């Protein structure tokens, strides 16, 4: 990264988002809860409807001027492949199939895209929100190609239970949308269907993170809490989910599609937020290879402080890294579950970082261009 402190101050904040009891919408004892309903996904739509009717309806219905910079296409590593990327350390507590819930009037509302990444990403409905659990670590490789690095590395995050991601089941268009061109520089603004958060395309200085050399070939990097996240649309996920499914969801609840409309047709003209009304009359966003790359703000109703609220907390467990000028990350590999290696070039030499995440600690071994090593161990 460049010589700014690429911090996301929400990472150290204490935001508690209790989910409440997992009961059916009517709160009746003995009724089938949401998680149990979703676990029946593999039984097919008929079984889902039967189970849902027994538990009652919950009233959820399914609605789902910038520089012309260009997002590069990743040159190596198959999207969704687990051969070169990290393994998930802790599976989510629920494993969905096709995520479906019963809506008002007996209609079925589904949320697409996430099922391609089960069981590393779990989704269930709770009240008026979708809840998404993951550890934030994608199956693809990471960090390679970054030329402006602040010595942070990817570590799994506890996006589970009260610290899970959430967004509305029934999003509503806002009378006063929030632009990502002038705000939302802290925290995530969307969540990819592989469970990786997406931040504003502009960093906390208001600069394009892609043009600054801060992003890898997948459009992401590790932040202050060693949390991996994207700053541009993860368009590589299109191949995994298919053209008719979203690649992400903005935190206002509206879907984000790739470079085609849900029906496979070319993308129609977009508004300033990189979105428009679909053929079904429901608003959605698109990922693009030019700025703003992803949703250009919040076209839907959200609560905003200096970031969209609520969202999970990630906490830094070691001192902030400093910019390593001239370093270029050349490779990132998973050596074994929970063990990683990052290689970089610097001043004509080669150096690396080996680290292992085990329980509540992270052990680093730093090897500089002269072969000298130092070891650091931190508790999380």
H or E element: which one contains 377?
strand 373-379
Distance CA 252, CA 184 (A): 13
Pairing type for strands 283-286 and 255-257 reads parallel
From the number of C-beta atoms within 10 Å of its C-beta (0-12, 13-18, 19+), residue 330 rates as middle
pLDDT of 153 higher than 70? yes
pLDDT of 333 higher than 70? yes
pLDDT tens string 110-134: 689 999 999 899 999 999 999 999 9
Average pLDDT over residues 231-250: 95
pLDDT tens string 166-217: 999 999 999 999 999 999 999 999 999 999 999 999 998 889 999 999 999 9
Q: Domain boundaries in the chain?
A: 9-316
| Residue closest to 237 by CA, chosen among 194, 274, 294 | 194
Distance CA 36, CA 201 (A): 37
Greatest Cα pair distance, the chain, in angstroms, is: 69
Q: How far is CA 330 from each of CA 143, 149, 216, 333, rounded to the nearest angstrom?
A: 8, 12, 10, 10
Q: Who's near 281: CB < 8 A, 6+ residues apart?
A: none
pTM: 0.76
Average pLDDT over residues 79-83: 34
From the number of C-beta atoms within 10 Å of its C-beta (0-12, 13-18, 19+), residue 359 rates as exposed
pLDDT of 60 higher than 80? no
| Predicted local distance difference test score (pLDDT) of residue 110 | 65
Q: How far is CA 136 from each of CA 140, 152, 298, rounded to the nearest angstrom?
A: 12, 15, 22
């Amino acid at each position: 990264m460049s010589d700014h402190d690429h911090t996301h101050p929400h990472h150290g904040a204490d935001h508690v988002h209790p989910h409440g009891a997992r009961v059916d919408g009517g709160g009746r004892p003995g009724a089938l809860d949401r998680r149990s309903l979703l676990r029946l996904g593999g039984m097919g739509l008929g079984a889902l409807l039967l189970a849902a009717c027994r538990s009652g309806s919950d009233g959820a219905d399914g609605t789902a001027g910038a520089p012309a910079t260009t997002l590069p296409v990743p040159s190596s590593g198959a999207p969704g492949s687990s051969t070169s990327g990290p393994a998930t350390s802790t599976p989510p507590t629920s494993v969905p199939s096709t995520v479906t819930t019963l809506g008002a009037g007996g209609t079925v509302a589904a949320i697409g895209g996430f099922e391609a990444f089960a069981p590393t990403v779990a989704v269930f409905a709770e009240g008026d929100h979708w809840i998404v659990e993951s550890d934030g670590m994608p199956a693809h490789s990471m960090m390679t190609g970054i030329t402006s690095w602040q010595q942070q590395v990817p570590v799994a995050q506890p996006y589970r239970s009260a610290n899970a991601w959430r967004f509305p089941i029934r999003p509503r268009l806002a009378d006063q949308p929030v632009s990502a061109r002038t705000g939302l520089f802290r925290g995530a603004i969307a969540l990819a269907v592989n469970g990786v958060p997406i931040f504003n395309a502009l960093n906390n200085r208001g600069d394009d993170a892609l043009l600054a050399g801060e992003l890898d070939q997948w459009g992401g990097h590790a932040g202050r809490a060693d949390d991996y996240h994207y700053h541009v649309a993860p368009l590589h996920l299109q191949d995994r989910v298919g053209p008719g499914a979203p690649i992400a969801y903005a935190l206002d609840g509206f879907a984000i599609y790739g470079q085609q409309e849900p029906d496979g047709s070319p993308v129609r003209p977009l508004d300033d937020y990189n979105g428009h009304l679909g053929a079904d009359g429901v608003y959605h966003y698109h990922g693009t290879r030019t700025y703003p790359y992803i949703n250009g703000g919040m076209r839907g109703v959200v609560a905003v402080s200096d970031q969209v609220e609520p969202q999970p907390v990630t906490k830094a467990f070691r001192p902030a890294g400093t910019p390593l000028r001239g370093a270029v990350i050349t490779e990132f590999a998973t050596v074994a579950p929970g063990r990683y290696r990052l290689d970089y070039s610097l001043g004509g030499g080669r150096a690396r970082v080996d680290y292992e995440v085990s329980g509540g600690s992270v052990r680093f071994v730093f090897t500089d261009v002269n072969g000298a090593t130092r070891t650091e161990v931190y508790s999380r």
